[in-house]
Amino acid sequence: MNRKIIPFAVAGVLTCLVMAVSTVFAFSGSVKAEKVESDVVWSSPFSGAESMKVIDLTGDGKDDLFVQSPGYLTALNENGEALFGFGYEQMKTTLGDVTGDNVEDIVVYHVDAGMSVDVINQGQPATIADTLNIGVPSRVAVIRFASGPQIVLGDSDGNLLALDSNGQVLWTSDFAAGEVRGMDDVRIGGQAYVAIASHDGTVAVFDSQGGILWQSAQEQLRRMRAFDLNSDGTGEIITGGEYGAFKIYDAANGGLLFEKSLGQAVSEVREVELDGNPSSREIVAGGKEGGIWAFSFDGATARQMWSASLSDKITEIAGIDVDDDGKQEAVVGDDSGKVAIFTANGTRHNLPDRTSGIARMDVGKLGNERYVIVADLNELQVNKISFSSIPGFQFTPLIVGGIISAVILIIAAILASIPGKPEMKVAFQDTSLASLSAQRRMLKESIADVERLRQAGEVTGEAYLARLKRLRADLADNEAAFKKQGYNIKVETVQCPNCGGTLELGMDKCEYCGQVLLS
Amino acid sequence: MESFLCAFGVIAALTLILFVYLLNTARKRNAPITSSLTGKKEFLPVYITLADKPDSIVRGMDRFVAEVQKTESAGDKWRWAPMLIFLGGLGLMTIDGFLFLLGYKSLVFTAGGLALWVTALIFARHLRKSDSKDFSPRYTDVKNLIRTLRDDIKPGGTFNGHLDLTGAMLSSKVARTSKDTQNRITEHFRDEWLTFKAKLYDGNILRVSAIRKSKKRKSYWKRSPISGKMKSKPEKYKGAAQFLKVRIAVNPDVYVVKPGSAFKIGATIGKYKIAQLNTDGGIIDAVADSPFDEVEAEHILGFLQAAYSLLQRKAS
């Protein structure tokens, strides 16, 4: 091929490749310029938040911010002003409408006269039970059974006690030997049940009479959550183990739907609508070493969508639709104060770091805006999250590809314009008969010289053959020049059919490669 | 953090190496290329078959030099281009840096910049390929020698022979090998870099061969007497010497050979010292050696002139 065409041919292939890759990137939507920013709307000192929720606690139709530490609980309005606040000893709280006024109440399970339960209805506390036969508070939940709401208490020794809305004991259980680490309402065939897990690895589902629907045991547990992941009226129970076991159970019968070892203790599990498809829900799990995994559950089993990591123990996960695309992003906080937002494909956007570890996070509407509320070990911060992107940025690979292609083509043009290097073996040859004859004589003398040198032992082996090969080649060139000029010449050389080396006519074996010559 | 710093260090080092490489490409090469073995400058490997009239050879040699320089100058014109592409790549990457400052994370322009850097490297490699080493001083020397002798050549006569500047220490030029008492192999090179034959105006036939003989000890493994470890010893250049063989078949109609006092065995003529001399049968056969690494054309011409002192023109 012409040496001027080769650079263009190579450049053409490269340009096609570059543009193909650019087009794939441009139209796959994988190239984006997006950023998530966070502005602090207000903040308030609050240390050691253990529970936090954006919810209407006053019945005015506006959400308030409920936050609770081990010794104090309070409700703040949209501007961060305290609506009410109470101190309790070793309390655990839950939110639910116990009084039936369609306003969420705060249920407080605390140490007072023995173990007591208070219900705070629109800021008015009332003790509904005391001197209860149960241990130090660990978990409390309001379960809306078909027969009516029940307050289910769990202590640090694995004991359970259920109360009705008036504080009457309905049932008790000592189903496990370890601290109750998870308590959630769960639907089975549309009916409410309560799923409870203890630190010793026991998981059980109870009905409204305290009967155990099923019970299973596994490694020590850190987290248990119950969600109806595929909205079929029967929930799934998700557990996270002390040694990394991540399991999803069918709430109806305890059948194991999915199991995976995450390699580190599971410190948090939350449901986040990552893919925007309401028929399936996604779960985001966080690990003690900072690992983050997103799973999608399709009704039968789960598959991992992506994994990522932060630098410390994941302490909280919440979901918020930052960019209003109908898909939630996972807001994840860790024990070192880092907060990051992960999108459906695992892309990470960092929010400003906090000075202390993240304790709780929640997403909700305070006033007219949706906010992300972050409680670290020292304060509450209400943040407005804003999302922005550069329009049309996804097509920048085409621009970059175009630039690269143009440069490649220019280089090809330059290379084609550079003449090839001349041959380093040159012959200045006069083509007159006398000159060619003189050259022939000279070559034969030189060949004879080389032979003589070999016989004298001055030249041996490879050098002899190399010199002879070159002289014989020159002799063949000389013969060719004779023929070209139309002079008579007695041919004295022959070419080896194997190595191409020039040999003297009549030789029956090539001196250079050993090929037998039959001519 | 350490792995990040390590990766950053590696990337920075590679970028610096690329920058220096492209900068050197952009600058015209000044430093000569030297042989790692002899430490001497390396030259363009050329092999020229001489079978033409002296003027044609001289013109051809000039034309060849011009062709080589044309290729090189065509490449020289674009030597700055790879550096420009490199800076263009840097510019693209800066866009990503700017976006990063605005809070956006993008690697599109960085990827494009890297692609441009690779392109610049390949382009620079091609441009460097068009670089040529300098012509050996022997090339000009031989051209001058032919130019000087052209008036002494029989009208219409040609020079026949070759000028071999491909290198003195090629494997194809190993004349023989020898071993010493420690089994170390020494290679003896014989490089007949110039040979020509010409019929002169006075009817004499002149044959000249310039030979460079050199020695190199091959690398070998040796056990250290102290540590007992095997160590590789590099190859070693053991020196070189020049030889000149001159043969003049004297035209008996014009000359008689009359051995003189100046041109005799042991006489030093220029850089050469006559080692063998035979004038029997009307043919002068002389072999001279020289301890010098390089012998210029003027010394060869001087030697030929001295050899002619043995000839005495017959009375007409």
Q: What is the pLDDT along chain A (519 residues), one digit of tens a residue?
A: 566 788 899 999 999 999 999 999 999 878 888 888 888 899 989 988 989 999 998 888 889 999 999 899 999 988 888 899 999 999 999 999 888 888 999 999 999 878 999 999 988 999 999 999 899 999 999 999 988 899 999 999 999 999 998 889 999 998 888 899 999 999 998 899 999 999 999 999 999 999 999 999 888 999 999 988 878 889 999 999 999 999 999 999 999 999 999 999 999 999 898 888 877 788 999 999 999 999 998 878 888 999 999 989 999 998 888 877 888 899 999 999 999 999 888 888 888 888 889 999 898 888 888 888 999 988 999 988 888 888 889 899 999 999 999 999 999 999 888 887 777 788 888 888 888 888 888 888 888 888 888 888 888 777 788 888 888 888 888 888 898 888 888 888 888 888 888 888 777 788 888 887 765
Q: Are strands A202-206 and A191-198 parallel, antiparallel or unpaired?
A: antiparallel
| Section B78-91 average pLDDT | 93
- Tell me which chain A residues have a C-beta less than 8 angstroms from the C-beta of B171: 462
Q: What is the dihedral of CA B190, B191, B194, B199, to 10 degrees?
A: 30
Q: Do A404 and B116 touch (CB under 8 A)?
A: yes
Q: How far is A389 from chain B (nearest CA, A)?
A: 8
Whether the CB of B183 is below 8 Å from some CB of chain A: the reply is no
Find the closest chain A residue to B114 by CA distance.
A404
Whether the CB of B313 is below 8 Å from some CB of chain A: the reply is no
CA dist., res. A218 & res. A7, Å (int): 67
Q: Are strands A425-429 and B47-52 parallel, antiparallel or unpaired?
A: parallel
Give the CA distances from residue A497 to residues A500, A502, A510, in Å, rounded to whole numbers and listed in that order.
Answer: 6, 10, 9
pTM of the model: 0.62
B256 versus A462: which is more confidently predicted?
A: B256
pLDDT on residue A401:
95
Q: What angle do CA B1, B2, B3 make, to 5 degrees?
A: 90
* Strands, E assignment, chain B: 47-52, 159-164, 174-179, 185-199, 205-217, 220-223, 230-233, 236-249, 255-257, 268-269, 272-278, 283-290, 311-313
pLDDT on residue B33:
60
- pLDDT band of residue B3 (cuts 50, 70, 90) is confident
Phi-psi region of A114 (alpha: psi -120 to 50; beta: other; left: phi over 0): left
| Section B183-204 average pLDDT | 90
B175-185 b/e (C-beta count within 10 Å ≥ 16 → b):
bbeeeeeeeee
Find the closest chain B residue to A405 by CA distance.
B116
Helix B108-129 vs helix B2-26: angle between axes, to the nearest 10 degrees?
40
For A231-245, A294-308, B38-52, B298-312, which range has the lowest pLDDT when averaged over its residues? B38-52
For the four alpha carbons of A508, A511, A512 and A515, in that order, the dihedral sign comes to positive
- Tell me which chain B residues have a C-beta less than 8 angstroms from the C-beta of A484: none
- Tell me which chain B residues have a C-beta less than 8 angstroms from the C-beta of A18: 115
Q: Do B126 and A428 touch (CB under 8 A)?
A: no
pLDDT on residue B99:
92
pLDDT on residue A214:
93
- Tell me which chain A residues have a C-beta less than 8 angstroms from the C-beta of B81: 411, 414
Q: Which of residues 65-94 of B touch A (CB under 8 A)?
A: 67-68, 70-71, 74-75, 78, 81, 85, 88, 92
Question: Of A95, A124, A122, which Cα lies nearest the Cα of A108?
Answer: A95
DSSP-based three-state secondary structure for B181: coil
Find the closest chain A residue to B60 by CA distance.
A428
DSSP3 helix / strand / coil % (chain A, rounded to 5): 20, 45, 35
pLDDT on residue B257:
87
Q: How far is A35 from chain B (nearest CA, A)?
A: 5
Whether the CB of B61 is below 8 Å from some CB of chain A: the reply is yes
Q: Do A427 and B61 touch (CB under 8 A)?
A: no
pLDDT on residue B32:
58
pLDDT on residue B28:
66
Q: Is the pLDDT of residue B109 over 90?
A: yes
DSSP3 helix / strand / coil % (chain B, rounded to 5): 40, 30, 30
Whether the CB of A331 is below 8 Å from some CB of chain B: the reply is no
Give the CA distances from residue B13 to residues A170, A344, B7, in Å, rounded to whole numbers and listed in that order.
Answer: 73, 37, 10
Q: Do A426 and B60 touch (CB under 8 A)?
A: yes
